[in-house]
Chain A
Amino acid sequence: MPAMLRKLAQRLGVLQHSFAGGVHPEMYKVTAALPIEEAAITPVHILPMKQHIGEACSPLVRVGDRVLRGQKIAKSEGYLSVPVHAPTSGRVVKIEEHAIPHPSGMGMPSIFIESDGDDKRDESLDPLSGWREMNPATLRERARMCGLAGLGGAVFPTFIKLIQDKRFPIETVILNGIECEPWLTNDHRLMLEQPDEILSGLAIIMHMVGASSGIIAIEDNKPDAADVMREALARTPDMEGVRVVVLPTRYPQGSEKQLIYSLTGKEVPAGRLPMHIGVICQNVGTSRALHDAVVLGHPLTERLVTVSGDAVTNPANMRVRLGMPVRSLFASRGLDDLNGLHILHGGPMMGERLKSVDVPVIKSTTGLLAMRTETMMLAHTEEQPCIRCGHCSEACPIHLVPNLLADACRSDQFDRAENYQLFDCIECGSCSYVCPANIPLVHYFRYGKGQIAQQRREQVFAEASRKRSEARDARIARENAEKAARRQRVRREKAPVKPVESKGDINAGDEQNREEKS
């Protein structure tokens, strides 16, 4: 009944496109009007073996090897993984552990490529201009081999979503052009500057998954992008079933499940994927990257990065080759001295604060922000006791009760935390943003999740060793029983001749071997 009412209200235009909760962070889209600039190719590019969610890759090249731009330099290991490609032509100078953009400052085996300045491209991949007649599986393989991962920041390997499953027919493909993080503007610029490539990518996605309708979702603080996309749509043939939908600006509108709810009124059930309700979402940047991979035959070797923050006097949207050191990128904007600044990887709401600026730009680098301390209010205001004002519950788009949840995590009551559904938290940060007591709620949630995961691992380990020990006890008991039985048999035959005994021993040994193997 509520669903029906909602549908009716939507049809009447009374209630449109809303998820419950969320916040309105102050927007600092200072780079929105700045055209995308090409970042220079740095002398050395650092390519970590893992730039996405999933398993790490293993290097295919050795120190001293010459590589071309777009050449595969590391192969994916495991299913949830995509290969890494050289961002420019040059020579492999080093393969060793190097810090990646992660708050802990942890490292990852990385390939160092010294650029030769020619930027020669590896042309071995054919453009698939006739993709409309091609098998979706072929295109899917192309997306995988080109190293595509979601460029909205979550970097989920793209090919996994692009599957046609008869059990879950995909009706709608949503292109996510929401970009609800303050400061970030690269999706916005991409829509303004390359709408046709985005639409081409969308057409490929729709062809691959067999979807009949497509939605390009844009927040209403980017009306120009919506106009440009609409115009592009109007001049592109074969795009009926695709429309541009403008949604009210509210964080986290760009979160996949919230976006789907706003657009379709359907909730993705907990623990399931959008495809299970017939929808898939892709970031507009990913769509363009898919166009490049299929139509041009170019693997993913670059991405758009918003370089901004209140400490950057010369901010920009930049097209950056993967592996470019963050320090060089800031230096190219005239910011050499990064002392005392907070460097954020991603937006301020969900991004991570970097420990070091010697990390490279990777596939998940949506933005790099250099902030002065005073902007980061959470960082310099002391945590105060919770006054239970309930603003966090109001802001939570998942409808959790963040203050109770944080309390449970902080006091190590993990059963209670799980009962309060800790694992449904998407860590959007809305609760911390509104908290008048400056409680770093997300911090506690991460702590709780980490502790529970650790406990589970230990439980699995303990369970496995218990099973091992039980199996061993069972084996020994069986062996003893068999030995006893044999001894009895021998006694009954009343022929205690030696050869029989030795044969028995050999058999026993064999049996033991077999048991141990099993």
Chain B
Amino acid sequence: MPVMLSPPHAHGGDSIRMTMLTVVLALLPATAMSVYLFGWLAVLLILTCMVTALVTEAICLKWMGRPLSTLLDNSAALTGLFLALTLPAAVPWWMALLASVFAIVLGKQIYGGLGYNIFNPALSARIILLISFPLHMTTWIVPMSAAGPVLDLYDFQLCLSFFLTGPDALKVGFDAISMASPLGYVKTEATLGVPVAEALKAYDYSYLDAFLGFEAGSIGETSALALLIGGIFLLTRHTITWHIPLSYIATVLLLAGIFNAISPDQFTPPLFHLFAGGLILCAFFMATDPVSSPVTPMGQVIFGIGCGILTWSIRSFGGYPEGAMFAVLLMNCAVPLIDHYFRPRVFGYGRGEKS
């Protein structure tokens, strides 16, 4: 590259590689927690996703004639990790592989590579999988089921064969090791007319367990605590700002609070919304994906509020029990519009003045 003649001739030293690495680091607590909860299954899943993502990215770059050094920007590895954390522990290897290829090819490279995708690559891949393989994608392994009679999550050989052949081929009582997620359970019960409080009681739901991560769910989204630690790390490193997470979570809590107060039998309480499903993961990590979120602070608040409304609406009225990922993807579509209309007031132009 020719030496740039225009100033500035100094740089703060921030780089894309470091930004991506920071997010990977922020995901470490959640990753560690997923390994603790789901044992070798989580390890196998994460490795498969990350390796596939990197290989796919390399093939794409080679194909497009771009330098392979682009791999070092860490974005493909991050996508792989993200994707793995949003998948249930029960998915077989080929599904994880397929999802990673989807994420890189359809989620990112098809738009022109890093920086040009309008949707979060990991989320789009996950949604494709959810629609294509609804059964596998909503079959949740009981966390820490080392105590379970059938599947010891800490037995490598058992986990490997489970991962390679899929749960069907294992010819074991699948029901014994799987369970519904709290969101799914309450949703099903609600359609049968069971009030929320009774359903939660029947499920034996505990807020503390949900906070720490001992409820069923995708491997990376169960532990609110681990995700919050990572989110706060990102905030302190200034990789993300408070705008999206705060407006997103506050909107969900507000809506849930209002409707739960009006009709407690029909609508789940705010804290349940916070800890169940992928709200915290989405709020701190997915919705804040810089590429597919608005640029300006005000736009980010609008985006967060939109995500919140959609998440709560889909969870409360939609066909799927979980709405966070759909919400983020839907709001991704609105980003160009938000960027265009919610620009800050330019210095020197009065409020309301046509600037």
Contacts and interface: CB of A to CB of B under 8 A. Distances in A.
Interface of A: 23, 25-26, 103, 182, 257, 261, 267-272, 342, 344, 348-353, 371, 375-391, 393-394, 397-401, 403-404, 420-421, 424, 427, 429, 432-438, 440, 442-443, 446
B11 A438 contact: yes
Given A270-B348, A401-B343, A25 B12 contact: yes
Interface string B324-355: 00000000000000010001111111100001
Interface in B288-309: 290-297, 300
A390 B15 CA distance: 13
B9 A385 contact: no
B2 to A, nearest CB: 9
Contact of A442 (B8, B115, B116, B241): B8
Contacts of A351: 7, 9
Q: Is the interface of B mostly helix, strand, loop or mixed?
A: loop
A375 B348 CA distance: 35
Contact of A270 (B10, B114, B296, B346): B346
B110 interface: no
Interface of B: 1, 3-16, 18-19, 73, 113-116, 241, 290-297, 300, 339, 343-350, 355
Given A379-B4, A389-B290, A424-B347, A404 B339 contact: yes
B19 A440 contact: no
B11 A432 contact: yes
B304 to A, nearest CB: 13
Nearest to A23: B12
Contact of A446 (B6, B115, B347, B349): B6
Given A25-B12, A388-B291, A393-B296, A442 B7 contact: yes
A72 to B, nearest CB: 33
B332 to A, nearest CB: 12
A387 B240 CA distance: 13
Given A387-B291, A398-B346, A436 B10 contact: no
15 contacts: A270-B348, A342-B9, A353-B3, A381-B11, A382-B1, A385-B116, A390-B295, A390-B296, A393-B297, A398-B347, A398-B348, A401-B339, A403-B295, A424-B346, A437-B16
Given A388-B115, A390-B295, A433-B12, 7 more contacts: A270-B346, A376-B10, A390-B300, A398-B346, A399-B347, A427-B7, A434-B14
B295 A385 contact: no
Contact of A436 (B19, B294, B347, B348): B19
Q: Is the interface of A mostly helix, strand, loop or mixed?
A: loop
B348 A377 contact: no
A401 B296 contact: yes
B12 A267 contact: no
A348 B1 contact: no
B14 A348 contact: no
A353 B290 contact: no
B19 A442 contact: no
Contacts of B350: 269
Contacts of B9: 342, 344, 348-349, 351, 353, 371, 376, 378-379
Contacts of B348: 257, 267-272, 398, 424
Contacts of B114: 384-385, 387
A378 B296 contact: no
Contacts of B10: 25-26, 182, 348-349, 375-378, 433
Contact of A353 (B5, B241, B291, B296): B5
Contacts of B19: 387, 389, 436
A264 to B, nearest CB: 14
Nearest to A373: B3
Contacts of B5: 103, 352-353, 443
A387 B345 contact: no
A403 B291 CA distance: 12
Contacts of A434: 12, 14
A268 to B, nearest CB: 6
A432 B12 CA distance: 9
A395 B293 CA distance: 18
A375 B10 CA distance: 7
Given A270-B346, A384-B16, A379 B3 contact: yes
A469 B8 CA distance: 47
Contacts of A379: 3-4, 9
Nearest to A272: B348
Contact of A378 (B11, B73, B293, B297): B11
A132 B153 CA distance: 90
Given A25-B12, A257-B347, A399-B345, A429 B7 contact: yes
A18 to B, nearest CB: 13
Nearest to B112: A385
Contacts of B355: 270, 421
Given A377-B13, A390-B290, A352 B7 contact: yes
Nearest to B4: A440
B6 A442 contact: yes
B290 A388 contact: yes
Nearest to A425: B346
A42 B49 CA distance: 69
Nearest to B238: A391
B48 to A, nearest CB: 26
B273 to A, nearest CB: 27
A403 B344 CA distance: 14
Q: Give the one of B5, B6, B13, B347 with max A CB within 10 A.
A: B347
Contacts of A342: 3, 9
Contacts of B13: 377
A363 to B, nearest CB: 19
Nearest to A344: B9
A16 B189 CA distance: 56
A433 B16 contact: no
A381 B12 CA distance: 12
A180 B355 CA distance: 29
Contacts of A384: 16, 73, 114-115
A393 to B, nearest CB: 5
Contacts of B347: 257, 261, 267, 270, 397-399, 424
A6 to B, nearest CB: 13
Nearest to A427: B7
B290 A348 contact: no
Contacts of A424: 346-348
A389 B9 CA distance: 21
Contacts of B241: 390, 394
B8 A385 contact: no
A51 B7 CA distance: 20
A341 to B, nearest CB: 12
Nearest to B345: A399
A306 to B, nearest CB: 15
Contact of A387 (B3, B115, B349): B115
A1 to B, nearest CB: 10
B42 to A, nearest CB: 28
